[in-house]
Chain A
Protein backbone atom coordinates (compact mmCIF):
# COMPACT_ATOMS: atom_id res chain seq x y z
CA UNK A 1 0.00 0.00 0.00
CA UNK A 2 2.81 2.31 0.89
CA UNK A 3 4.37 1.84 -2.48
CA UNK A 4 1.02 2.42 -4.15
CA UNK A 5 0.50 5.86 -2.64
CA UNK A 6 4.13 6.65 -3.23
CA UNK A 7 3.71 5.72 -6.85
CA UNK A 8 0.51 7.68 -7.23
CA UNK A 9 2.19 10.75 -5.81
CA UNK A 10 5.07 10.59 -8.23
CA UNK A 11 3.39 8.95 -11.17
CA UNK A 12 2.75 12.17 -13.00
CA UNK A 13 6.41 13.07 -12.88
CA UNK A 14 7.26 9.96 -14.82
CA UNK A 15 8.03 11.83 -17.97
CA UNK A 16 11.72 11.73 -17.09
CA UNK A 17 14.08 8.96 -18.12
CA UNK A 18 15.38 8.79 -14.56
CA UNK A 19 11.97 8.08 -13.01
CA UNK A 20 9.83 5.04 -13.80
CA UNK A 21 6.06 4.99 -14.18
CA UNK A 22 5.60 4.54 -10.40
CA UNK A 23 7.64 7.60 -9.59
CA UNK A 24 10.57 5.58 -8.31
CA UNK A 25 14.11 6.35 -9.25
CA UNK A 26 15.72 4.46 -12.09
CA UNK A 27 19.31 3.92 -11.04
CA UNK A 28 20.92 6.61 -8.95
CA UNK A 29 19.18 9.99 -9.10
CA UNK A 30 22.59 11.53 -8.49
CA UNK A 31 23.74 10.33 -11.90
CA UNK A 32 20.72 11.54 -13.83
CA UNK A 33 22.12 13.85 -16.46
CA UNK A 34 18.99 15.84 -17.20
CA UNK A 35 18.81 17.25 -13.66
CA UNK A 36 22.37 18.46 -13.43
CA UNK A 37 21.88 21.74 -15.26
CA UNK A 38 18.99 22.70 -13.03
CA UNK A 39 20.88 21.92 -9.85
CA UNK A 40 24.04 23.71 -10.92
CA UNK A 41 22.07 26.76 -12.00
CA UNK A 42 20.21 27.15 -8.73
CA UNK A 43 23.29 26.25 -6.69
CA UNK A 44 25.36 28.98 -8.28
CA UNK A 45 22.59 31.51 -7.60
CA UNK A 46 22.35 30.28 -4.02
CA UNK A 47 26.07 30.54 -3.45
CA UNK A 48 26.20 34.05 -4.85
CA UNK A 49 23.29 35.15 -2.68
CA UNK A 50 24.79 33.57 0.45
CA UNK A 51 28.14 35.16 -0.35
CA UNK A 52 26.52 38.57 -0.71
CA UNK A 53 24.53 38.16 2.51
CA UNK A 54 27.60 37.11 4.43
CA UNK A 55 30.23 39.37 2.92
CA UNK A 56 28.12 42.52 2.70
CA UNK A 57 25.98 42.31 5.83
CA UNK A 58 26.63 39.56 8.31
CA UNK A 59 30.41 39.25 8.53
CA UNK A 60 31.21 43.00 8.82
CA UNK A 61 28.47 43.31 11.42
CA UNK A 62 29.74 40.40 13.51
CA UNK A 63 33.32 41.60 13.12
CA UNK A 64 32.34 45.06 14.35
CA UNK A 65 30.40 43.59 17.27
CA UNK A 66 33.36 41.44 18.23
CA UNK A 67 35.74 44.37 17.87
CA UNK A 68 33.43 46.53 19.96
CA UNK A 69 33.26 43.86 22.63
CA UNK A 70 37.02 43.53 22.57
CA UNK A 71 37.27 47.29 22.91
CA UNK A 72 34.83 47.30 25.81
CA UNK A 73 36.73 44.56 27.56
CA UNK A 74 40.02 46.36 27.00
CA UNK A 75 38.52 49.60 28.30
CA UNK A 76 37.11 47.90 31.33
CA UNK A 77 40.42 46.29 32.06
CA UNK A 78 42.14 49.64 31.66
CA UNK A 79 39.60 51.27 34.00
CA UNK A 80 40.15 48.53 36.53
CA UNK A 81 43.89 49.05 36.24
CA UNK A 82 43.38 52.75 36.77
CA UNK A 83 41.26 52.16 39.86
CA UNK A 84 43.78 49.72 41.21
CA UNK A 85 46.56 52.21 40.60
CA UNK A 86 44.57 54.89 42.43
CA UNK A 87 43.92 52.59 45.34
CA UNK A 88 47.58 51.80 45.52
CA UNK A 89 48.41 55.48 45.37
CA UNK A 90 46.06 56.37 48.21
CA UNK A 91 47.40 53.52 50.25
CA UNK A 92 50.89 54.80 49.68
CA UNK A 93 49.76 58.29 50.69
CA UNK A 94 48.17 56.89 53.82
CA UNK A 95 51.33 55.03 54.68
CA UNK A 96 53.30 58.19 54.03
CA UNK A 97 51.03 60.20 56.31
CA UNK A 98 51.30 57.56 58.96
CA UNK A 99 55.07 57.55 58.74
CA UNK A 100 55.12 61.35 58.85
CA UNK A 101 52.93 61.45 61.91
CA UNK A 102 55.05 58.86 63.58
CA UNK A 103 58.22 60.81 62.77
CA UNK A 104 56.64 64.01 64.05
CA UNK A 105 55.58 62.36 67.27
CA UNK A 106 59.06 61.04 67.66
CA UNK A 107 60.50 64.49 67.02
CA UNK A 108 58.17 66.06 69.58
CA UNK A 109 59.03 63.44 72.11
CA UNK A 110 62.70 63.92 71.40
CA UNK A 111 62.38 67.65 71.72
CA UNK A 112 60.52 67.39 74.98
CA UNK A 113 63.10 65.00 76.24
CA UNK A 114 65.87 67.35 75.16
CA UNK A 115 64.17 70.32 76.84
CA UNK A 116 63.75 68.44 80.05
CA UNK A 117 67.32 67.32 79.88
CA UNK A 118 68.51 70.88 79.26
CA UNK A 119 66.46 72.15 82.18
CA UNK A 120 67.73 69.40 84.30
CA UNK A 121 71.30 70.13 83.30
CA UNK A 122 70.85 73.80 84.04
CA UNK A 123 69.36 73.06 87.45
CA UNK A 124 72.09 70.58 88.08
CA UNK A 125 74.77 73.07 87.14
CA UNK A 126 73.18 75.65 89.39
CA UNK A 127 73.01 73.22 92.20
CA UNK A 128 76.58 72.18 91.61
CA UNK A 129 77.64 75.81 91.66
CA UNK A 130 75.78 76.43 94.89
CA UNK A 131 77.32 73.36 96.39
CA UNK A 132 80.79 74.30 95.32
CA UNK A 133 80.26 77.88 96.60
CA UNK A 134 79.15 76.50 99.87
CA UNK A 135 82.08 74.11 99.94
CA UNK A 136 84.52 76.94 99.24
CA UNK A 137 82.93 78.98 101.99
CA UNK A 138 83.25 76.11 104.40
CA UNK A 139 86.81 75.60 103.32
CA UNK A 140 87.51 79.19 104.01
CA UNK A 141 85.86 78.96 107.39
CA UNK A 142 87.85 75.85 108.17
CA UNK A 143 91.10 77.43 107.13
CA UNK A 144 90.23 80.50 109.15
CA UNK A 145 89.50 78.28 112.09
CA UNK A 146 92.73 76.39 111.48
CA UNK A 147 94.66 79.62 111.21
CA UNK A 148 93.17 80.94 114.41
CA UNK A 149 93.86 77.62 116.04
CA UNK A 150 97.49 77.82 114.88
CA UNK A 151 97.67 81.30 116.33
CA UNK A 152 96.22 80.10 119.55
CA UNK A 153 98.73 77.24 119.56
CA UNK A 154 101.55 79.74 119.06
CA UNK A 155 100.24 81.92 121.86
CA UNK A 156 99.85 78.94 124.10
CA UNK A 157 103.27 77.66 123.10
CA UNK A 158 104.81 81.04 123.80
CA UNK A 159 103.06 81.28 127.08
CA UNK A 160 104.02 77.72 127.89
CA UNK A 161 107.59 78.35 126.84
CA UNK A 162 107.71 81.56 128.91
CA UNK A 163 106.20 79.73 131.85
CA UNK A 164 108.75 76.91 131.42
CA UNK A 165 111.62 79.30 131.18
CA UNK A 166 110.37 81.16 134.26
CA UNK A 167 109.88 77.95 136.10
CA UNK A 168 113.41 76.83 135.25
CA UNK A 169 114.65 79.98 136.78
CA UNK A 170 115.53 82.02 133.87
CA UNK A 171 114.55 85.32 132.86
CA UNK A 172 112.47 85.05 129.79
CA UNK A 173 112.90 87.45 127.09
CA UNK A 174 109.50 87.61 125.41
CA UNK A 175 110.79 88.54 122.04
CA UNK A 176 113.33 85.74 121.99
CA UNK A 177 110.84 83.19 123.09
CA UNK A 178 108.31 84.28 120.49
CA UNK A 179 110.97 84.06 117.83
CA UNK A 180 112.07 80.61 118.88
CA UNK A 181 108.58 79.26 119.07
CA UNK A 182 107.73 80.64 115.64
CA UNK A 183 110.87 79.07 114.21
CA UNK A 184 110.15 75.76 115.84
CA UNK A 185 106.51 75.78 114.66
CA UNK A 186 107.53 76.53 111.10
CA UNK A 187 110.25 74.02 111.21
Chain B
Protein backbone atom coordinates (compact mmCIF):
# COMPACT_ATOMS: atom_id res chain seq x y z
CA UNK B 1 0.00 0.00 0.00
CA UNK B 2 2.82 2.33 0.88
CA UNK B 3 4.42 1.64 -2.49
CA UNK B 4 1.15 2.44 -4.24
CA UNK B 5 0.89 5.79 -2.49
CA UNK B 6 4.46 6.48 -3.51
CA UNK B 7 3.57 5.82 -7.12
CA UNK B 8 0.63 8.20 -6.91
CA UNK B 9 2.93 10.78 -5.40
CA UNK B 10 5.38 10.20 -8.22
CA UNK B 11 2.65 10.83 -10.75
CA UNK B 12 1.63 14.01 -8.96
CA UNK B 13 5.22 15.19 -8.86
CA UNK B 14 5.46 14.62 -12.59
CA UNK B 15 2.85 17.38 -13.06
CA UNK B 16 5.67 19.73 -12.16
CA UNK B 17 7.44 18.76 -15.36
CA UNK B 18 4.46 20.05 -17.31
CA UNK B 19 4.49 23.26 -15.29
CA UNK B 20 8.15 23.70 -16.15
CA UNK B 21 7.26 23.14 -19.79
CA UNK B 22 4.82 26.06 -19.56
CA UNK B 23 7.57 28.16 -18.03
CA UNK B 24 10.07 27.28 -20.72
CA UNK B 25 7.48 27.97 -23.39
CA UNK B 26 6.83 31.38 -21.84
CA UNK B 27 10.50 32.26 -21.87
CA UNK B 28 11.06 31.14 -25.45
CA UNK B 29 7.82 32.66 -26.73
CA UNK B 30 8.47 36.03 -25.17
CA UNK B 31 11.98 35.97 -26.49
CA UNK B 32 10.68 35.26 -29.97
CA UNK B 33 8.10 38.05 -29.71
CA UNK B 34 10.78 40.48 -28.60
CA UNK B 35 13.21 39.24 -31.21
CA UNK B 36 10.72 39.77 -34.01
CA UNK B 37 10.11 43.33 -32.87
CA UNK B 38 13.76 44.16 -32.61
CA UNK B 39 15.75 41.54 -34.51
CA UNK B 40 19.00 43.47 -34.23
CA UNK B 41 19.02 43.10 -30.44
CA UNK B 42 18.10 39.40 -30.50
CA UNK B 43 21.53 37.97 -31.21
CA UNK B 44 23.06 39.59 -28.16
CA UNK B 45 20.40 38.16 -25.88
CA UNK B 46 20.53 34.47 -26.76
CA UNK B 47 22.77 33.79 -23.76
CA UNK B 48 20.16 35.38 -21.52
CA UNK B 49 17.54 33.25 -23.23
CA UNK B 50 19.40 30.04 -22.48
CA UNK B 51 20.04 31.05 -18.87
CA UNK B 52 16.34 31.80 -18.45
CA UNK B 53 15.36 28.51 -20.02
CA UNK B 54 17.87 26.69 -17.83
CA UNK B 55 16.48 28.23 -14.66
CA UNK B 56 12.89 27.49 -15.64
CA UNK B 57 13.76 23.96 -16.64
CA UNK B 58 15.78 23.24 -13.50
CA UNK B 59 12.60 23.38 -11.42
CA UNK B 60 10.90 20.94 -13.72
CA UNK B 61 13.90 18.67 -13.39
CA UNK B 62 13.54 18.94 -9.61
CA UNK B 63 9.98 17.68 -9.78
CA UNK B 64 11.06 14.94 -12.15
CA UNK B 65 13.72 14.00 -9.62
CA UNK B 66 11.19 13.91 -6.80
CA UNK B 67 9.09 11.64 -8.94
CA UNK B 68 12.05 9.36 -9.64
CA UNK B 69 12.92 9.24 -5.95
CA UNK B 70 9.39 8.24 -5.10
CA UNK B 71 9.44 5.58 -7.80
CA UNK B 72 12.79 4.02 -7.10
CA UNK B 73 14.20 5.16 -3.81
CA UNK B 74 11.24 5.06 -1.39
The answer on direct contact between A and B (beta carbons under 8 Å) is: yes
**Is A175's CB within 8 Å of the partner chain B?**
no
Q: How far is the CB of B74 from chain A (nearest CB, A)?
A: 9
Q: Is the interface of B mostly helix, strand, loop or mixed?
A: helix
Q: How big is the A interface, by class?
A: under 10
CB neighbors of A among B38-74 (8 A): 68-69, 72-73
How many A-B contacts if CB must be within 8 Å? 9
**Is A27's CB within 8 Å of the partner chain B?**
yes
For A27, the chain B residues whose CB sits under 8 A away are: 72-73
Assembled-state Cα–Cα distance A28/B68 (Å):
8
For B73, the chain A residues whose CB sits under 8 A away are: 27-28, 31
User: Which A residues form the contact surface with B (CB < 8 A)?
Assistant: 25, 27-28, 31
Ranked 3 nearest A-B pairs via Cβ: A27-B72, A28-B72, A27-B73
For B69, the chain A residues whose CB sits under 8 A away are: 28, 31
Report the nearest B residue to A29, measured CB to CB: B72
Q: A27-B72, A28-B73 are in contact. List 5 more A-B contacts (CB 8 A).
A: A25-B72, A28-B68, A28-B69, A28-B72, A31-B73
Assembled-state Cα–Cα distance A121/B67 (Å):
121
Residue contacts A-B, CB under 8 angstroms, 9 given: A25-B72, A27-B72, A27-B73, A28-B68, A28-B69, A28-B72, A28-B73, A31-B69, A31-B73
Report the nearest A residue to B68, measured CB to CB: A28
Report the nearest B residue to A28, measured CB to CB: B72
Report the nearest B residue to A31, measured CB to CB: B73
Assembled-state Cα–Cα distance A28/B67 (Å):
11
Report the nearest B residue to A26, measured CB to CB: B72
For A31, the chain B residues whose CB sits under 8 A away are: 69, 73
Q: How far is the CB of B10 from chain A (nearest CB, A)?
A: 12
